[in-house]
Chain A
Amino acid sequence: MADDTGAPTAPSTAIDIAWHVRNNVESATAVVERHLAEIERRESDIHAFNLVLADEARARAAEIDEAVSVGRDPGPLAGVPIALKDNMCTRGIPTTCSSRILDGWKPPYDATIVTKLHDAGAIVIGKTNLDEFAMGSSTENSAFGATRNPHDTTRVPGGSSGGSAAAVAAGFAPVSLGSDTGGSIRQPAALCGVVGVKPTYGAVSRYGLVAFASSLDQIGPFATTVADASLLLESISGHDPMDSTSIQRGPLEITRQLDFGVAGLRVGRITDLPEGASPDVVERLEQAFDELRAAGAEIVDVEVPAFTYGLTAYYLIAPAEASSNLARYDGVRFGHRVDAPDTNAMYMATRTDGFGAEVKRRIMLGTYALSAGYYDAYYGRALKVRRRIAADFATAYERADVLLTPASPTVAFHLGDKTSDPMSMYLCDTYTIPSNLTGDPGMSVPFGTGDDGLPVGIQVLAPALQEATMFRTAAVLEQRAPR
């Protein structure tokens, strides 16, 4: 590899880094040091991390270099620095969910993905910022302050996995992990100009992912390339006995089909897609259809009439599940407690002090949707709408192999633009929400720029467990993206 001057450049993708480390061309220590230097240089402007694990990363790099020196293969992600969203449990290392209520809490166990990453030779370089308990679309709802978009630091990176998206976009790590409950990987990926994937529900273990809405949450990768995202997803997927909702099958197989192209593939255009995407984004979507057609795909029109009701179903179901999941933060077992004379007063004081405004709003909305007298009208109906949405997608997938939509209605917006109007923030998730409700996979792939030269992401959707088809569509879009 060489830059324009002919001087050799350091490998930047996970695949290249792992190749260099496994073949003893660059040490894991050198890889870690140059990423820590990049963090040192720009992190104060971006605030991607809640915690940078410099010492731990250096120690792990030394282990990997030692393994290579004695002829042992550290694994497919050898020496690859990775950033983890700070809602994934790391044993003995603070895991905050960007909430004051987990102040001082150190998990007594590792999430399954942490163990899998370790076994694959990856190096956890830090824990990234998020909207508190993953509730938000801008990473402004953090007890530790907002993360900024590396493309323009006056703008948001999206959310809730904004820290993980920004870390990859800024070159702090070649890859990262986020969690996606309603678009929290795909929307920030779009806004930060990186690849972001929400896998099929159950493809990746949720053991050790702090629960927000258990029937919707899924862990997935961020990367600068489709191939890196594929390698990382393969490494973390597969059944886990510790997560009873994880699918009973081995790791996803994606990379083998990555360059198969889209000749003959049926790509669906949703004719009744909810409005709200800005003209610059719509223009790129049209261009994406054109490029896939030019690459041999057949573009077919499909209808998904219930798509438009996704937002309502989601913002009743997710808060309902959250109100139940977050009942555990009562000042007894984890982190923060505000002392009071009796337990009930202690619960109330701890939760009132520990949770931020958006989390309280969603807990109240969810509690309301589940409460006597309103359950049938809100939560019960939302579950029926969810079934209707799944049925409409199943019908669409009889005619199309994949579907294309915008990942986000707009390019990155300015900090503070949507913080006073929760409903305007929720509308950011319009196009990403349905796949969480159905459990199907979706990913955002960078495809040129929109207003103010900011990145646009195209979302590729596919039926459950059809990640290989989704990824090869994304690979063609990556290849043909406007420069």
Chain B
Amino acid sequence: MSDRITPEAVAKVAKLARLSLSDDELQQATHQLSDMLDHFADIDALDLDDVEPMTHPTPIANVMREDIEQDCLDRDEVLAAAPAAEDGRFRVPPIVGLDD
């Protein structure tokens, strides 16, 4: 296998993506991502200096509308679909005030 990406780099990426990997999963992910990056090296030799990046199939611009009152989603129905809610809000574990 190639070493296009190291286990340390994969571990960092997993942390950024809020995923935790076991040691086995880390080894496997390193192997598989290296394989993919090997394949993706086919574009390395292309001269792309003068090419404009294409982020979207069609030219898009922000869509504006008049600032008038409209119906929106029902709050109770939205909160009912969440894992936890209280007093009309999403309920989450503590964010601040932890000891560490």
Contact = CB atoms under 8 A, between A and B. Distances in A.
Interface string B57-100: 11010110100000001100110111110000010111100100
B52 A316 contact: no
Interface stretch (A260-268, A278-286, A328-336): A328-336
Given A383-B55, A439-B58, A363 B17 contact: yes
A58 interface: no
Interface in A289-309: 308-309
A383 B54 contact: yes
B57 A202 contact: yes
Contact of B33 (A245, A308, A311, A365): A365
Interface in B27-63: 29, 32-33, 35-36, 39-40, 42-43, 46, 48, 51-58, 60, 62-63
A414 interface: no
B29 A361 contact: yes
Contacts of B90: 332-333
Contacts of A109: 73
Contacts of B14: 364
B11 to A, nearest CB: 10
Contact of A364 (B19, B52, B73): B19
A381 B44 CA distance: 9
Given A312-B42, A334-B81, A346 B19 contact: no
Given A244-B60, A309-B43, A361-B29, A341 B93 contact: yes
A340 B62 CA distance: 39
A64 B48 CA distance: 57
B19 A438 contact: no
User: Interface of chain B, helix or strand or loop or mixed?
Assistant: loop
A438 B53 contact: no
B94 A341 contact: yes
A386 interface: yes
A316 B37 CA distance: 9
A158 B60 CA distance: 32
B20 interface: yes
Contact of A351 (B5, B18, B78): B18
A368 B13 contact: yes
Contact of B48 (A315, A365, A388, A390): A388
Most chain B C-beta atoms within 10 Å of own C-beta, residue among A106, A109, A316, A332: A332
- Measured as residues with beta carbon below 8 angstroms from the partner, the interface class of chain B is 35 or more
Contact of A215 (B32, B56, B92): B56
Contacts of B65: 241
B17 A364 contact: yes
Contact of A316 (B5, B40, B80, B93): B40
Contact of B53 (A331, A336, A384): A384
Contact of A352 (B20, B51, B73, B95): B20
A348 interface: yes
A8 B82 CA distance: 51
A257 interface: no
Given A309-B43, A347-B18, A333 B82 contact: yes
Interface string A177-217: 00000000000000000000000011000000000000100
B57 A364 contact: no
A347 B92 CA distance: 10
A355 interface: yes
Contacts of A346: 92-93
A332 B13 contact: no
Contacts of A258: none
A246 to B, nearest CB: 10
A323 interface: yes
B87 to A, nearest CB: 15
Nearest to B10: A364
A438 B95 CA distance: 43
A384 B51 contact: yes
A378 interface: yes
A411 B13 CA distance: 36
Contacts of A333: 78, 81-82, 90
Contacts of A390: 54, 57
A212 to B, nearest CB: 15
A352 B57 contact: no
B58 A367 contact: no
A331 B19 CA distance: 13
A399 interface: no
B94 A343 contact: yes
Contacts of A342: 93-95, 98
Interface string A32-67: 000000000000000000000000000000000000
Contacts of A378: 40
Nearest to A363: B17
10 contacts: A107-B81, A108-B73, A311-B39, A315-B40, A364-B13, A364-B33, A382-B43, A383-B55, A384-B53, A423-B39
Given A330-B18, A422-B36, 7 more contacts: A108-B74, A108-B78, A215-B55, A244-B63, A312-B43, A331-B83, A364-B13
Interface of B: 5, 9-10, 13-14, 16-20, 29, 32-33, 35-36, 39-40, 42-43, 46, 48, 51-58, 60, 62-63, 65, 73-74, 77-78, 80-84, 90, 92-95, 98
